[in-house]
Structure 1
Amino acid sequence: MGSKITIIGAGSVGSTIAHILSLKPYVSELVMIDILKDKADGEIMDMAQGTGFRDPISMIAGDYEDAAGSDIVIVTSGVARKPGQTRIELAKTNVAIMKNIAPQVAKHAPNALCIIVANPVDVLTYAFLKYSGMKENQVIGSGTLLDTVRLTYKLSQELGIAQRSIKGYVFGEHGDTSFIPWSMVTVEGIKLDEYTKGARRLGIDANDFDPDEVITYVRKSGGEIIKRKGATFYGVANSVVDVCEALMGAQDLVTVVSSMMHGEYGVDDVCTSCLTVIGPNGVKGKIEATLTDEEVAKFKASAEALKAVIKEMDIE
């Protein structure tokens, strides 16, 4: 028996997540919910007709009642940021949307593990927790997982080495105050500067790079993609599916996602990203890996920026 997953939001992100999951053998039921019911129905019809090459799967466009019994609920609903719109304005609009969604999820799928994807994701993860009343271990924001993948992609291009060999993370807000803890970046366990020296001795073309340019690339990639094609969805969809697989796995996994902080690095009462243990029971807690004093200061500054936005939202 596979898992039942409900996706709220039939836009580009929600539909791409649904399409990837519809091809996974461990998913036996998919429900898509959207205020535009015809859109959700059309997406499901299109995807369902492409599932004839796998074991049978139930796929429906439904309402919140159809989310009952879901193992995972993924929330992608929200409006995209418009030209000239401030982050506060975007947050107010999407927090209002979340205020309607969260109680419905809690009512109809009270035992589900919930992944929040809509932006600003850290603020909306916090809002979902408050408005749903669900347990903290049940609620996970996609956070800086996509940023982390963008980081390792960029470094793979600079170092000329496979992305999977690089371990590095982006911490903090999924946004302009995110940062890279360079003290934690390794290539198969080797510190970055040691790897670069060793690679050059072997004649491997490991480029010099500016760390400031790398974090700018990470922060601005989404905007650059939107400028070129109008939206981003492949990268975030794959990141969310990775979280789903961790939640359905047999063992816990350490990754970077957004969840409630309880004093780690001197930060509390905000949802943000650092190394987090997740698994079949949701969030187990944060791993407080050693950071430099400068990195801790950046983490605190990022958290304070998020708290300032949350304060403006009057979330109770």
Structure 2
Amino acid sequence: MARSSVGIIGTGNVGIAAAYAIFQRQLASEIVLVDKNRQRAEGEAMDLMHGQPLVGRVTVRAADYDALAGCQVIVITAGVNQKPGESRLDLLNRNAAVFREVAAELDRHAPDAVLVIATNPVDILTQVMQQLSRRPTRRVIGTGTMLDTSRFRSLLGDWYQVNPRSVHAYILGEHGDSEVPIWSGAMIGGLSVMQHVINGQRFDPEAMETLFQRVRTAAFDIISRKGYTNTAIGLVIAYLVRVILEDQRSVLPVSVNPEGDYGQRDVCFSVPCVIGAHGVEYRLAPEVDSAERRGLEASAGVLRDSLRQMTIAD
């Protein structure tokens, strides 16, 4: 394994799920945990280190921002929780303040690292970090709809009784209620799910709408049962980290500024991008039908409305 280092800012449920997935797969030689609660970070580092005999030599340590200087990738899961009675806008502004501090520290200590944003609302906070950080925007990537797309492919795989890895379909736009399923491009084995009978199954619009609603409400359904989501997003983060570290140039639906794709700019949401060692190598804009394009325009509008109301910089 080539020498590599990954930083994780925030050792809550998501940050540690990501650290565990990266550790268990030996994706990096070193994982650096940064958290305002230093004792929590130290405890998590110790806990992971005790698994080395079962996994392999991966160093995990708690540290301050200056220890991130050697990291190729830094994952940001830090954020503040919503207070009772607090509005969504107030929460967004407080998280923007957190990101202002984080951006300054990362520009000082790790200006060349690729930043992976996982804190929700991920699209808005990716845009915030792109505005606050001095690094090129291609090096600031939100996890976006990678998790939604994974859920989508998983349910489609179950519906058609095929391995979800053989399903090629995207959720694009916002990671949230306005996300858009791209049915027109959904394929299994090179066959359009809308136009072909696959494994005895025809495209059933009503059933597919129900399936998509399961994708859209998945986080709520999980949170209502266990109190939070962390495992699948941890796997998503680890996968994205691996793609960057290995310069795979894989196509992933991540949150970036579309810079004119689908008529949208000055807002971050998910479009398929080629991801490599330097972050976003280039964006792709697969063809969508008119209803899907309207959905993406509406999704961008939802995000833009929130951004207009925020206080991002002093």
1:199 is matched with which residue? 199
CA distance in 2, matches of 1:9, 1:205: 45
Per the TM alignment, residue 208 of structure 1 is displaced from its structure 2 partner at its CA by 7.4
User: Cα 1:198–1:18, aligned 2, differ >3 Å: closer, same or farther?
Assistant: closer
8 Å Cα contact 2:122-2:175 kept in structure 1: yes
| Percent identical residues | 31
8 Å Cα contact 2:172-2:270 kept in structure 1: yes
CA distance in 1, matches of 2:308, 2:109: 29
Q: Which SS does the other structure have where 1:291 is aligned? A: coil
User: Cα 1:213–1:293, aligned 2, differ >3 Å: closer, same or farther?
Assistant: same
Q: Does 1:227 align with 2:224?
A: yes
Q: Does 1:251 align with 2:252?
A: no
User: Cα 1:155–1:83, aligned 2, differ >3 Å: closer, same or farther?
Assistant: farther
Per the TM alignment, residue 174 of structure 1 is displaced from its structure 2 partner at its CA by 0.4
Per the TM alignment, residue 57 of structure 1 is displaced from its structure 2 partner at its CA by 2.3
Matched letter for residue 185 of structure 2: M
1:11 is matched with which residue? 12
1:56-71 pair list within 5 angstroms: 56-71=57-72
Q: Does 1:295 align with 2:296?
A: no
Q: Does 1:149 align with 2:146?
A: no
Equivalent residue in structure 2 for 1:264, among 261, 273, 286: 261
1:158 is matched with which residue? 159
CA distance in 1, matches of 2:41, 2:205: 47
2:208 is matched with which residue? 211
TM-score, length of structure 2 as denominator length: 0.94
Matched letter for residue 13 of structure 1: V
8 Å Cα contact 2:73-2:245 kept in structure 1: no
Per the TM alignment, residue 315 of structure 1 is displaced from its structure 2 partner at its CA by 2.3
CA distance in 2, matches of 1:94, 1:307: 17
Q: Which SS does the other structure have where 1:98 is aligned? A: helix
Equivalent residue in structure 1 for 2:276, among 274, 279, 282: 279
User: Cα 1:67–1:198, aligned 2, differ >3 Å: closer, same or farther?
Assistant: closer
2:134 is matched with which residue? 133
In the TM superposition, what whole-angstrom CA distance separates every residue of 1:120-145 from its partner, at most 9, and x where no partner exists?
00000011111112111110000000
Per the TM alignment, residue 53 of structure 1 is displaced from its structure 2 partner at its CA by 2.9
Identify which range, 53-62 or 217-226, moves more after superposition.
Answer: 53-62
8 Å Cα contact 2:195-2:203 kept in structure 1: no
2:178 is matched with which residue? 177
CA distance in 2, matches of 1:34, 1:250: 28
Per the TM alignment, residue 293 of structure 1 is displaced from its structure 2 partner at its CA by 1.5
TM-score, length of structure 1 as denominator length: 0.93
User: Cα 1:166–1:75, aligned 2, differ >3 Å: closer, same or farther?
Assistant: same
Q: Which SS does the other structure have where 1:68 is aligned? A: helix
CA distance in 2, matches of 1:256, 1:238: 15
Per the TM alignment, residue 230 of structure 1 is displaced from its structure 2 partner at its CA by 0.7
1:315 is matched with which residue? 312
8 Å Cα contact 1:158-1:209 kept in structure 2: no
1:60-99 pair list within 5 angstroms: 60-81=61-82, 86-99=87-100
In the TM superposition, what whole-angstrom CA distance separates every residue of 1:62-97 from its partner, at most 9, and x where no partner exists?
110111111000000013456775532332222221
User: Cα 1:168–1:80, aligned 2, differ >3 Å: closer, same or farther?
Assistant: farther
In the TM superposition, what whole-angstrom CA distance separates every residue of 1:242-300 from its partner, at most 9, and x where no partner exists?
11111012431111000122111100011110111111111022101111121111111
8 Å Cα contact 1:151-1:169 kept in structure 2: yes
8 Å Cα contact 1:2-1:25 kept in structure 2: no
In the TM superposition, what whole-angstrom CA distance separates every residue of 1:31-70 from its partner, at most 9, and x where no partner exists?
0001111111111110110112344222110110111111
Q: Which SS does the other structure have where 2:242 is aligned? A: helix
CA distance in 2, matches of 1:133, 1:75: 16
CA distance in 1, matches of 2:77, 2:198: 44
User: Cα 1:192–1:308, aligned 2, differ >3 Å: closer, same or farther?
Assistant: same
Q: Does 1:100 align with 2:97?
A: no
1:35 is matched with which residue? 36
User: Cα 1:301–1:194, aligned 2, differ >3 Å: closer, same or farther?
Assistant: closer
In the TM superposition, what whole-angstrom CA distance separates every residue of 1:198-229 from its partner, at most 9, and x where no partner exists?
422xxx79987533322221121101111100
CA distance in 1, matches of 2:93, 2:6: 28
